[in-house]
Structure 1
Amino acid sequence: MSMREGQDGTERLVVIGGDAAGMSAASQARRLKGPGELEIVAFERGRFTSFSACGIPYWVGGDVAERDALIARTPEEHRARGIDLRLGTEVTAIDVPGRRVRARDVDSGTESWTPYDKLVIATGARPVRPDLPGVDAPGVHGVQTLGDGQALLQTLARAHGRRAVVVGAGYIGVEMAEALINRGFEVTVVNRGKEPMSTLDADMGRLVHRAMEGLGITMVNDAEVTKILTGEDGRARAVATQDAEYPADVVVLGIGVRPDTALARAAGLPLGAHGGLLTDLAMRVRGHEDIWAGGDCVEVLNLVSGQEQYVPLGTHANKHGQVIGSNVGGGYATFPGVVGTAVSKVCDLEIARTGLREKDAGRVGLRYETVTIESTSRAGYYPGASPMTVKMLAERRTGRLLGVQIVGREGAAKRVDIAAVALTAQMTVEQMTALDLGYAPPFSPVWDPVLVAARKAAAKVRP
């Protein structure tokens, strides 16, 4: 019998968050249980559902023509499937003992409690917004939601000058630098790290640095932003560091995101070292039978290091939602973990990584060898062959693959999937050399660049 007040014999699932993880969970649960068995109420504080935040830089840059192309499923489509979706409604509290959530209408401010039998927390992530003078001035933009993207496009259209400063050089910063170049802006990237893309080792990040400068992007590394300077009209006019000022008609924050777990923290739910919710393999919040969590608000197990990690990616969020929905709907599914695969690009430069960096391996006590090789995307004699750099980490003595980073032009990014599969299977670099990969001159050299690196690594780790 249902614990809440409501329709006899019908359980209620409440979902907090209407994007990838939340609505995937709701949709999968609905596939398994009809409205007569399971009532589904979903709260979303914004105005959009099931959208691709990963696609926003490409919309801003003009590769994607319109906003709605980034929406996988509209609110009307969710409602037509029997999901009570409430937009513009922010959950402000979770009462775990009382099995209810408090929600506030964003427009009217009215609040009300909604009981639940089962709860899914999919609150996502919040952009890192440093506490700097001027950071809230007009002309300073984050790029987390479709509304953020729309606001940035409006600023770009109205800008009197063509100077843009991007703060941060991770995935978001690099992708936004490309978007702004495509829009005809002069772009400066201010980065606190020694090289862009801190998800790579510094030697591979240096390749990205050189390529970005070759595209006309000004890279300022080892620089901490101290404030955003504003003009007489109150709008952002420059980004200041301790040593210099960089004029800006628009400023984009690309510093990254953190798990949005303030609700979960206030409710006393378990959080990890990175601030994300901790779950079991079924994506159930640890210690709570009827509460699940997924997407950018959770931490996941890294299968290579054996430690919890924070990896906010749409691929994981959708998988989490499928797992949660299956379990809520009476089925069974698990999410075993990740190996840390991610790809990106800046103009025609492709950037890929999976597994552990050198500092990751050292931090968990692994002894390793590294190799770096130069190869080409196709047979060297075939038209269009372009250079590619592959770095590989392998465990000393055992030869187990630990990580791969690839920087190059055409064909670099998706080659990392070879390594992602090998990591998941816990292969050694010696075993990788025998992989039967597809070959023809238009697609790769006789020895694929990943296998060239594996051969070199295998020779290095042999006793």
Structure 2
Amino acid sequence: MKRRVVIIGGGAAGMSAAAKARRTDAELDIVVYERSGFVSYGACGFPYVIKGEIARIEDVIVRTPEQFARQGIQALIHHEVLAIDTERQTVRVRDLTGGHEFVDHWDELVLTTGGQPVRPPLPGVDLPGVFTLRNVEDARAIQHWLHEQQPRTGVIIGGGYIGLEMAEALAAHGVQLTLIERLSQVLPSFDNELAAQVEAELRQHQVDVRLGQTVQAIVGDERVREVLIDGQSIPAEIVILAVGVRPGVALARSAGIALGTTGAVAVDDHQRTNVPQVWAAGDVAEALHRVTGKPVWVPLGTTANKQGRVAGENLAGGDARFGGIVGTVAVKVFDLEAAMSGLSLARAQAEGFAARAISATANSRAHYMPGHQPITVSLVFDETSRRLLGGQMVGHEGVAKRIDTIAAALQAGWTIDELAELDASYAPPFAPVWDPILVAANLARK
């Protein structure tokens, strides 16, 4: 009898697990239950679809249920798993289209329930015109509102990655924007010096940035009209809630599957949970941080795909291992690029390192090449061991891929001295003789 594999969640981790399991064992019986109407899509592309830079939302859909069916994977959309019974090895499922419920048996279970956008308990949070952005339906709803309602004013609540990308997207539709962040800077995970450059870029594009302020209520009648902050009214015909994401662990918790210190599902380096034959991957699961050696929760599509592949191979009899992450991210804010990998100075000090940060600004290309732009590089290192702990960059070109050099150095465990000795490429159109990374590393070396 074929072994039955049930995967809960059809995002990056779930479909990667399904595809890898199928390639590893052609005899498995694989079914994926997905609550929404789509599987296997590039959620990071949504802001650029909304902006209009990507013509159709279908362009960010990687594969359809019909395509997976040809591979022998049953991907059932509009199906919500309501409960997991780990003793009987069953799940209770509701068909959201037909309305009926049924029980399915599994031999191997994969939790890829992802993350859930935080919806703060604010008055008016459910008014028409107030959106989060997590799945295809969310992106389509925002598109429809922009085209049908043509809002002239908008508020973005939250200054993280989604909030910044949506600022660019809405500005492209002529929306006069206010961005509200309750902390003292945008991009809270960045060090202040670099975050200030991102804030300046927003202001240069006429985004009214309000820092250190708290939203009290969202106000409207049949649709959103304004946002109240600290007693002040801000007009808003569209509101984007971008205040963060939490791991979607409700099913896991109710089934007795252990959560880790971060609040996400605890897994080992094979993506196993504490329950035999139950695996977890993607935004619902923890990962090992290679710099600190501790579990961390960093919801990224890159991690989800890798963890999903590991879980899929192992449940099918393989022996794959996920070695961890260094938390590499990049974001585009209008004409500016910002990226980081590893630990910020504040995080490194909180982790107990004798941490110091050194920053330097150098050209993206040779100084005599047209179009060269300044890049600010900040490196965090341990003064005792000289080990590189993290890096951040901001600039108008050449940032988003340069951060990969820092990621590789962190993963290899380099010191600041080894980074300074890197044999980096040089060609006037691409980089100066002394690349900005080397300039910062040599400054730290001294």
Same fold, judged at TM 0.5 (above): yes
Shift of 1:169: 0.6
Are positions 1:236 and 2:228 aligned together?
A: no
Within 5 A, what are the aligned runs for 1:158-173? 158-173=148-163
Could you tell me which of 31, 42, 48 is aligned with 2:38? 48
Q: Distance in 2 between the 1:106 and 1:372 partners?
A: 53
Q: Secondary structure at the match of 2:226?
A: strand
Query: Is residue 204 of structure 1 aligned with residue 201 of structure 2?
Result: no
1:19 Cα deviation (Å)?
A: 1.1
Counterpart CA distance in 2 for 1:364 and 1:106 is 45
State the match for 1:15 in structure 2: 7
Deviation at 1:109, TM superposition (A): 2.5
Rounded Cα–Cα distance in structure 1 between residues aligned with 2:204 and 2:20: 46
Q: Which amino acid aligns with 1:22?
A: G
Residues of 2 paired with 1:364 and 1:253: CA distance? 30
- In the alignment, the residues of structure 2 paired with residue 224 and residue 266 of structure 1 have an alpha-carbon distance, to the nearest angstrom, of 33
In the alignment, which of 177, 181, 195 is matched to residue 191 of structure 1? 181
CA RMSD for the aligned pairs? 1.0
CA distance in 1, matches of 2:275, 2:244: 30
Per the alignment, residue 263 of structure 1 pairs with 251
- 1:363 equivalenced with 2:350 (yes/no): yes
Q: Please report how far the alpha carbon of residue 246 of structure 1 lies from its aligned counterpart in structure 2 after TM superposition.
A: 1.0
Residue 380 of structure 2 aligns to a residue whose secondary structure is strand
> Could you tell me how far 1:160 is from its partner in structure 2?
4.8
Partner of 1:143: 133
Aligned residue number for residue 421 of structure 1: 408
How high is the TM-score relative to the length of structure 2?
0.98
Amino acid at match of 2:32: A
Runs of at least 5 residues in structure 1 that lack an aligned partner in the other structure:
1-8
Structure 1 window deviating more from structure 2 (58-67 vs 322-331): it is 322-331
Is the Cα–Cα contact under 8 Å of residues 167 and 189 in structure 1 kept in the other structure?
Answer: yes
Aligned positions of 1:274-293 closer than 5 A: 274-285=262-273, 287-293=274-280
Letter of the 1:273 partner, please give it. Answer: T
1:26 is matched with which residue? 18
Map 1:398-409; keep pairs closer than 5 Å: 398-409=385-396
- 2:384 corresponding residue in structure 1: 397
Q: Which residue of 2 aligns with 1:6?
A: none
The 8 Å contact of residues 345 and 356 in structure 2, kept in 1 or not, is answered as no
Q: Is residue 436 of structure 2 the alignment partner of residue 449 of structure 1?
A: yes
Q: Distance in 1 between matches of 2:438 and 2:342?
A: 16
- Letter of the 1:418 partner, please give it: T
TM-score by length of 1: 0.95
Which deviates further from its counterpart, 358-367 or 424-433?
358-367
Matching residue within 209, 222, 225 for 1:219: 209
After TM superposition, list the pairs within 5 Å mapping 1:229-378 onto structure 2: 229-231=219-221, 234-285=222-273, 287-378=274-365
Displacement over 6 Å in runs of 4+: none
Could you tell me which runs of 5 or more consecutive residues in structure 2 were left unpaired when the two chains were aligned.
none
The alignment-based identity, stated in percent, is 43
The answer for the alignment partner of 1:4 in structure 2 is none
2:211 and 2:327 mapped to 1: Cα distance? 25
Higher deviation after alignment, 418-427 or 157-166: 157-166
Between 1:101-110 and 1:165-174, the stretch displaced more is: 101-110
Q: Report the 3-state secondary structure (helix = DSSP H, G, I; strand = E; otherwise coil) of the residue aligned with 1:93.
A: strand
CA contact (8 A) 1:159 1:250 kept: no
Q: Per-residue displacement from partner, 1:360-380 (whole Å, max 9, x unpaired)?
A: 111111111211111111111
Report the counterpart of residue 80 of structure 1 in structure 2: 70
Q: Distance in 2 between matches of 1:354 and 1:244?
A: 37
State the one-letter code of the partner of 1:322.
Answer: R
- Indicate the SS of the match to 2:338: strand
- Residue correspondences, number: 446
The answer to whether the 8 Å contact 1:228/1:238 transfers is: yes
